[in-house]
């Protein structure tokens, strides 16, 4: 196997104005938490899997004694107004050549379905824990910006670079004529932030006109708050380290 | 030479329901010890060699003053009921792209022979030395699971990931319709474990209905036990280090 | 996306005896400062962009809330006597295979425009701050050498190797019959050297018969001089370290 | 430029039973010293150059102010009985995929000339300085072994692996039906060993029936002996370190 491969699972003829939502691992695992939550709550069946020689050469042993390849998966939710393809995965490609190849194959596949919008989800690490998690975004489309700004999403404030698929998919998609955005939940960066993820899920429910039960995520967020208290306590202890230059430099690095 | 290449050595027309057994280097070198033992005891001739630019760019100097490429080799044992292809080798590919390419070429080749089952052999590191080495397994087939469970092989208990060919071959083989399993001898992980390898050879002899003289392996196992005593003595000295978190993390990492 | 791609932006029919000037990041950022200054002062519109899987898998978030791919860009200045293509960029390819691929694609593109000369700009690190920044060069053409020597450029004195596009473009270009040179501003190597960049811009203005306002660069150079004073003060403190062998070894390493 | 390329320099129609002698950088630089000495003494003109994206992405600045690509070069000596192609170079490819690609391209090229024997030259590091530098060898041909043994070359004693082209060329050449050997001058491994190189040149002169003036090499060997005395003095100081296990392990690693 020399190239990234898409394995189709579901027979579908045509999708209705489909949008891609990504939930791949990254800062604060916000993307992954959001993506998996959507798939579970929306009971979205698997549309396709993607496997790649640019993923680690490992397989997982499952609790049921099975073997599972490392992969990224596309799930499909057929909405009232538009269809939603949700991309989740174990990993991202391990280097630049791999990231570009995988993003290219994903876009080929999404174009086959006529995807009209790419919306990637990530975390934006600020190195501190704010009570009110803001949602930052960047986009390739003024129209999308207007829509998101109406919903309170902040543009022009997040700085630095976006590493990996959350940045490459909308950027490379734009070259193919597909508008896209990356929305980023404000987060500390040092732990899995279900509170920030909850905010993104709420935004997506509103944006896509979906009914999503937040109960399970509320529970996770409660646990997350406990983690935060511990992190805050740790923070106080190491406050000097927090403000050194290298730590600040890291705050603009998101996935 | 830009790609992995198979060099055929033996003229064979058709194989009888062939199974692949792998014996590549990995944890506790169990796979390699088992594979080489089978080849020697069964006096299996070489079917083919595989060389790859994804192997290290080295050649070996032999005792006879010859030059030998680093390679993986397929040997053939023509059994009463079914033919057995045994894969052994010096190394595995050195990165992910190489591992996927080599596994793909191997599967192309095995499909040419109509291989109906893939059985990889590895070690499962527990970080301790148990008197009774268990055999763990994962599989892509419920039928194979049932067969192995009858023989005492444990499913659903091994956790984590399998690195390299022992995982990729059955996982990628399954995508091509070939059922497969990975059986793993319980082992410490820090030394070559001939005792655990002996258990696997016994299992394979039974599973494949082969007559295999275990005498030479018994001798190795005796030596191995001496090594164990030394390792155990060392263990007592460094018992604290053994139980730190990073050491525990490593126990689920097998090849 | 598996390969480096050129995205054309400007419709042009034919160029007049075009020369390539490069301004990519390297030692002292002299190339990048020079390239960007030329583009801004000459108000050169963008001719094309180059994106590559050999660039880092990141995108930039802009102040305006947009997403921008990491890229190299070609700008075009239509001069009286000859046209000038200016290459600037965020990065260079991250490894050897990438550097050769990107340089090859650039040359393909430049040959399409009939480029007749390649002139790359870099810094030559001497590890000290000289009052009179000399300009060193190497070339593939005796004719070009004669021209540059008349203007005070020094040949045969710079030693060692040139890393990256500043060396590969003229060297690989020469194989295709395009003569080329690399001119290098003398610099300390440890900071952005606008003084040295200013000298290169002056040389280029004369060489290409361009009118370039140096005012903004003078301001930068003033700032740069303040930085130098600080660097010199630091130098005095660490004078012993400066003269160890590894520091000397580094002085011949330029981009 | 995505692939390794051969640039032909000399118009030749047919070669007479040509043998390849390699002189690439490796242990003790013996190969490189021998290769360059042969080219200079035999006044062999350049037959072809090889450039590769698997070489470092650097160019050299020459004393004459020129730019020179990093490359490997083939030189041709037209002998009385047989023609000799001498391969010398600045570097070897920087990783395994590159080494296999470059070796493959070289063999394609050599096959075009009908090369009938491959003879690579390297150093065999013993970690000590012996008065009588022995010459070790490995080969893919019993006939070649017999020839070299008559001349005092030692087979079956060198252990371990050969890294890089010195091993890959005869090994991969053998797969194409071209017999080959690697001869290795015994050397300390820690410095350029002209004494050992001298022995190899003498052997080659005899083997190929060439008249080679050893005067310049004698001078180098004299200098080399002075270096040795210094190395020996250093050795005495660090004698304990010499005999630790890691140092011993390194002795079998040659290029």
pLDDT in tens, C92-145: 999 999 999 999 999 999 999 999 999 999 999 998 888 899 999 999 999 999
Residue A144: is its pLDDT beyond 90? yes
Would strands B5-8 and B19-23 be described as parallel, antiparallel, or unpaired?
unpaired
Are residues D1 and C104 in contact, defined by beta-carbon separation less than 8 angstroms? yes
Q: Nearest by CB to D66, from C93, C95, C138: name it.
A: C138
Residue B231: is its pLDDT beyond 80? no
Distance CA D82, CA D80 (A): 6
Tokens representing A175 are: 């070259």
Neighbours of C9 (CB within 10 A): 14
pLDDT in tens, D234-247: 766 655 443 443 33
Which of B5, B54, B97, B173 best tests the A interface by mutation, with the highest count of A CBs <10 A?
B97
Q: How far lies D227's CA from each of D65, D131, D191, D231, D233, in Å?
A: 32, 14, 8, 6, 10
Touch A-D: 3+ C-beta pairs under 8 A: no
pLDDT score for C238: 59
Task: Determine the distance in angstroms separating the CA of D5 from the nearest CA of chain C, rounded to an integer.
Answer: 11
- D168 CB neighbours in chain B (<8 A) are 57, 59
Q: Nearest by CB to A172, from C1, C58, C65: name it.
A: C1
**What is the average pLDDT across C1-12?**
93
Is B100's CB within 8 Å of A67's CB? no
Q: For chain B, give the mean pLDDT.
A: 90
Residue A90: is its pLDDT beyond 50? yes
**What is the average pLDDT across A230-244?**
59
Among the residue ranges B236-240, C35-39, C51-55, the one predicted with the least confidence is: B236-240
pLDDT in tens, A174-201: 999 999 999 999 999 888 889 999 999 9
Q: Nearest by CB to C96, from D56, D59, D65: name it.
A: D56
Rounded to two decimals, what is the model's pTM?
Answer: 0.90
Are residues A180 and A141 in contact, defined by beta-carbon separation less than 8 angstroms? yes
* Secondary structure letter of residue B66 according to DSSP: B
Range of the domain at A23: 5-254
Distance CA A23, CA D142 (A): 61
Quick check: B55 contacting D, CB < 8 Å?
Answer: yes
**What is the average pLDDT across A86-106?**
97
Is D67's CB within 8 Å of C162's CB? yes
Q: For chain C, give the mean pLDDT.
A: 90
pLDDT in tens, D136-185: 999 999 999 999 999 999 999 999 999 999 999 999 999 999 999 999 99
Task: Determine the distance in angstroms separating the CA of C164 from the nearest CA of chain A, rounded to an integer.
Answer: 18
Distance CA C240, CA C229 (A): 18
pLDDT in tens, B38-80: 999 999 999 999 999 999 999 999 999 999 999 999 999 999 9
pLDDT score for A25: 94
Tokens representing D177 are: 């039906």
Residue B205: is its pLDDT beyond 70? yes
pLDDT score for D224: 74
Quick check: A54 contacting B, CB < 8 Å?
Answer: yes
- C98 CB neighbours in chain A (<8 A) are 97
Is C96's CB within 8 Å of D55's CB? yes
pLDDT score for C247: 34
Distance CA A193, CA A204 (A): 17
Q: Nearest by CB to B65, from D145, D160, D162: name it.
A: D145
Among the residue ranges A154-158, B183-187, D187-191, the one predicted with the least confidence is: D187-191
SS3 for chain C is CCCCEEEECCCCCCCCCCEEEEECCCHHHHHHHHHHHHHHHCCCCEEEEEECCCCCCEEEECCCCEEEECCEEEEEEECCCCEEEEEEECCCCCCHHHHHHHHHHHHHHHHHCCCCEEEEEEEEECCCCCCCCCEEEEECCHHHHHHHHHCCCEECCCCCEEECHHHHHHHHHHHCCCCEEEEEEEECCCCCCHHHHHHHHHHHHHHHCCCCCCHHHHHHHHHHHHHHHHHHHHHHHCHHHHCCHHHHHHCCEEC
* CATH code, B12: 3.40.50.10900
Would strands D67-69 and C5-8 be described as parallel, antiparallel, or unpaired?
unpaired
Residue A235: is its pLDDT beyond 90? no
Is B1's CB within 8 Å of D140's CB? no
Q: Nearest by CB to A139, from C2, C7, C66: name it.
A: C66
Distance CA A170, CA A160 (A): 16
- C94 CB neighbours in chain A (<8 A) are 96
Tokens representing D197 are: 């190189």
Residue C220: is its pLDDT beyond 90? no
**What is the average pLDDT across C47-57?**
97
Is C61's CB within 8 Å of A138's CB? yes
Quick check: C8 contacting A, CB < 8 Å?
Answer: no
Distance CA B152, CA B134 (A): 9
Q: Where would I find the H helices in chain B?
A: 30-41, 96-112, 142-150, 165-175, 194-208, 215-237, 239-242, 245-250
Give φ, ψ of B169 to 5 degrees: -65, -50
pLDDT score for C147: 98
Q: Nearest by CB to A101, from C2, C52, C55: name it.
A: C2
Is C2's CB within 8 Å of A100's CB? yes
Among residues A83, A87, A129, A92, the alpha carbon closest in space to that of A107 is found at A87
Residue, of D118 and D219, whose pLDDT is higher: D118
pLDDT score for B235: 62
Give how many domains chain A has, as a whole number.
1
Residue D255: is its pLDDT beyond 60? no
Chain C neighbours, 3+ Cβ pairs < 8 A: A, D
* Secondary structure letter of residue A66 according to DSSP: B
């Amino acid at each position: 196997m020399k190239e990234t491969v898409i394995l189709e699972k579901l027979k579908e003829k045509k999708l209705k104005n489909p949008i891609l939502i990504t939930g791949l691992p990254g800062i604060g695992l916000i993307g992954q938490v959001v993506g998996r939550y959507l798939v579970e709550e929306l009971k979205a069946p698997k549309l396709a899997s993607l496997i790649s020689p640019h993923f680690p050469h490992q397989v997982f042993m499952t609790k049921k004694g099975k073997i599972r390849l490392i992969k990224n998966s596309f799930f499909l939710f057929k909405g009232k107004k538009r269809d939603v393809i949700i991309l989740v995965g174990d990993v991202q490609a391990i280097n630049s050549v791999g990231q570009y190849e995988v993003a290219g194959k994903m876009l080929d596949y999404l174009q086959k379905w006529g995807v009209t919008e790419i919306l990637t989800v990530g975390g934006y690490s600020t190195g501190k824990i704010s009570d009110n998690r803001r949602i930052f975004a960047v986009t390739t489309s003024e129209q999308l910006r207007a829509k998101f700004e109406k919903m309170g999403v902040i543009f022009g404030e997040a700085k630095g670079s976006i590493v990996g698929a959350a940045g490459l998919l909308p950027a490379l998609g734009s070259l193919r004529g597909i508008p896209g955005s990356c929305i980023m939940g404000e987060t500390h960066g040092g732990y899995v932030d279900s509170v920030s993820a909850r905010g993104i899920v709420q935004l997506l429910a509103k944006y896509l006109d979906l009914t999503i039960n937040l109960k399970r995520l509320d529970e996770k967020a409660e646990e997350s708050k406990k983690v935060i208290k511990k992190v805050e306590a740790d923070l106080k202890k190491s406050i000097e380290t927090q403000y050194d230059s290298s730590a600040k430099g890291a705050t603009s690095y998101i996935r």
